[in-house]
Amino acid sequence: MHYKPMGFILGYDVGGTKISAVIGDETGKIHDTLRKRTLKEYGKEGLSAELIAMGEELLRKNHINSIDKVGIIFAGPVDSKNGIIVASPNIIGLKNFNIKKPLEDHFNVPVYLDNDAAAAAISERIFGSGKNVDNFIYITLSTGIGAGIFINGRLYKGSHGMAGEVGHMAIMPNGSVCGCGRRGCWETIASGKGIARRTMENITALRDSTELSKLRSSEIDAKAVFRAMDKGDMFAQLMVEETIYYIAFGIVNLINILDPELIIIGGGLSFEGEKLFKPLRMAIKEEIKSLKRNVRIVKALENGADIGSIAITMYYD
Q: What are the tens digits of pLDDT across the range 164-220?
A: 999 999 999 889 998 888 999 999 999 999 999 999 999 899 999 999 999 998 899
DSSP 8-state secondary structure symbol assigned to residue 73: E
Q: Which of 123, 142, 141 is nearest to 307 (CA)?
A: 123
Is 282 part of a structural domain of the chain?
yes
Residues 164 and 97 in one domain: no
CB 116 within 8 A of CB 140: yes
3-state helix, strand, coil in the chain (%, to 5): 45, 20, 35
The percentage of the chain sitting over the pLDDT mark of 90, rounded to a whole number, equals 80
Is 210 part of a structural domain of the chain?
yes
User: Residue 99 sits in which domain range?
Assistant: 9-115
Is 177 part of a structural domain of the chain?
yes
| φ, ψ at 238 (rounded to 5°) | -65, -45
Is 312 part of a structural domain of the chain?
no
Whether the pLDDT of residue 231 is over 90: the answer is yes
Residues 145 and 274 in one domain: yes
Q: Which of 269, 268, 271, 314 is nearest to 29 (CA)?
A: 314
pLDDT mean over 260-282: 96
Is 305 part of a structural domain of the chain?
no
Q: What is the pLDDT of residue 305?
A: 76
Residue 43 confidence class, pLDDT cut points 50, 70, 90: very high
Question: What are the C-alpha distances in Å from 97 to residues 92, 94, 212, 221?
Answer: 11, 5, 42, 32
Residue 1 confidence class, pLDDT cut points 50, 70, 90: very low
Residue 317 confidence class, pLDDT cut points 50, 70, 90: confident
Residues 142 and 46 in one domain: no
Residues 177 and 223 in one domain: yes
Q: What are the tens digits of pLDDT across the range 120-168?
A: 999 999 999 999 999 999 999 988 899 999 999 999 999 888 899 999 9
